[in-house]
């Protein structure tokens, strides 16, 4: 088991405090869900841990090793799925895979993953949103990072691909720790082991949908 430990995380933009003294832990074998209304800092939190947004303060440790924020990307221990696509739209899927996986066996893992044969000849820009998000997750998930930060893996995705993505994430958590955020709360709660909500700069643990109502993320009554 590997442990990602983030402590003393503070972030403000100008005079506006976004996240105050946040701590969190994620183990390999675990998926953690992050909720919060628009603008509460969910994406910022993931980018701070990945190192692409500079923190006012943050300590990041993986097991006993401290990783400075500026060294997170080069350490190749934490990966990040941004909200927007990062793949070249004009390339066919079968041309994109070798860009990330020079080794033939590694490429095969992607090519023989469920569904990929149905869209490998298509250009990235012509994929459905579900196919595209799944391909991105397959690529990120098959690189060797221990921890994945995923920003909205389910948003606007057709139901069939949501299921394919959920199955992939459950498989990936066998060897990785995953922190994800998405407003599709039912999909998130279906696969997460722990959850929290960001509210007014703080992090509050969530046990179920009722807690999401209590903290004014959902309106009641919640159908069960
Ligand atoms: N580069 C920036 N400069 C100034 N303010 C910013 C910047 N990036 C984000 N913010 C502000 O920080 C706050 C948190 O933004 P963030 O994108 O993390 O929210 P979020 O919880 O992910 O929202 P959403 O659910 O809409 O994706 C928002 O008020 C946003 O306007």
The DSSP secondary structure of 101-148, one letter per residue, reads: --SHHHHHHHHTSTTGGGTTTSBGGGS-HHHHHHHHHHHHHHSS-SEE
Distance 45 CA to ligand 1 centre (A): 10
Structure tokens at 198: 């960001």
| Protein residue whose Cα sits closest to atom 2 of ligand 1 | 13
- pLDDT, tens digit (0-9, with 9 covering 90-100), for 84-140: 888 999 999 999 999 999 999 999 999 999 999 999 999 999 999 999 999 999 999
Q: Using an 8 Å Cβ cutoff, are 88 and 96 in contact?
A: yes
Q: Using an 8 Å Cβ cutoff, are 86 and 95 in contact?
A: no
Distance 118 CA to ligand 1 centre (A): 36
pLDDT over 70 for what percent of the chain? 98
Architecture of domain 3-214: 3-Layer(aba) Sandwich (3.40)
Domain boundaries, the chain: 3-214
Chain mean pLDDT for the chain:
95
Question: Does the structure show a pLDDT above 60 at 54?
Answer: yes
Closest ligand 1 atom number to CA of residue 83: 27
Question: Does the structure show a pLDDT above 80 at 185?
Answer: yes
Would residue 36 be called left, alpha or beta, if left means φ above 0 and alpha means ψ between -120 and 50 degrees?
left
Distance 126 CA to ligand 1 centre (A): 29
Q: Say whether 18 sits in a helix, a strand or coil.
A: strand
Ligand 1 close to Cβ of residue 39 (< 6 A): yes
Would residue 15 be called left, alpha or beta, if left means φ above 0 and alpha means ψ between -120 and 50 degrees?
alpha
Query: In this predicted structure, what is the pLDDT of residue 126?
Result: 97
**% helix / strand / coil in the chain, to the nearest 5?**
35, 30, 35
- pLDDT, tens digit (0-9, with 9 covering 90-100), for 129-182: 999 999 999 999 999 999 999 999 999 999 999 999 999 999 999 999 999 999
Q: What band does 219 get if pLDDT is binned at 50, 70 and 90?
A: confident
Structure tokens at 139: 């690529």
Q: Which of 85, 57, 84 is nearest to 69 (CA)?
A: 57
Query: In this predicted structure, what is the pLDDT of residue 158?
Result: 92
pLDDT over 90 for what percent of the chain? 96
Ligand 1 close to Cβ of residue 36 (< 6 A): yes
Q: Residue 150: what are its φ and ψ, rounded to 5°?
A: -115, 120
Q: Using an 8 Å Cβ cutoff, are 107 and 73 in contact?
A: no
Closest ligand 1 atom number to CA of residue 183: 25
Distance 171 CA to ligand 1 centre (A): 31
Distance 181 CA to ligand 1 centre (A): 13
Q: What is the predicted ipTM?
A: 0.97
């Amino acid at each position: 088991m590997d442990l990602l430990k983030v402590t003393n995380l503070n972030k403000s933009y100008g005079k506006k405090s976004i996240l105050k003294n946040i701590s969190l832990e994620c183990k390999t074998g675990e998926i953690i869900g992050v909720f919060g209304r628009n603008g509460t800092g969910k994406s910022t939190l993931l980018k701070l841990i990945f190192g692409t947004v500079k923190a006012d303060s943050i300590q990041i440790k993986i097991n006993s090793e401290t990783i400075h924020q500026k060294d997170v990307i080069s350490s190749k221990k934490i990966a990040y799925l941004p909200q927007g696509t990062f793949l070249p739209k004009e390339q066919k899927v079968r041309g994109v895979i070798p860009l990330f996986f020079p080794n033939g066996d590694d490429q095969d893992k992607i090519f023989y993953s469920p569904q990929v044969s149905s869209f490998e000849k298509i250009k990235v820009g012509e994929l459905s949103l579900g196919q595209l998000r799944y391909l991105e997750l397959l690529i990120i998930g098959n690189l060797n990072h221990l921890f994945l930060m995923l920003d909205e893996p389910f948003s606007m995705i057709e139901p069939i691909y949501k299921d394919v993505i959920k199955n992939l994430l459950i498989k990936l958590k066998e060897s990785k720790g995953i922190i994800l955020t998405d407003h599709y709360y039912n999909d998130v709660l279906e696969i997460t082991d722990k959850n929290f909500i960001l509210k007014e700069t703080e992090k509050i643990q969530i046990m179920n949908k009722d807690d999401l109502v209590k903290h004014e993320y959902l309106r009641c009554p919640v159908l069960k």
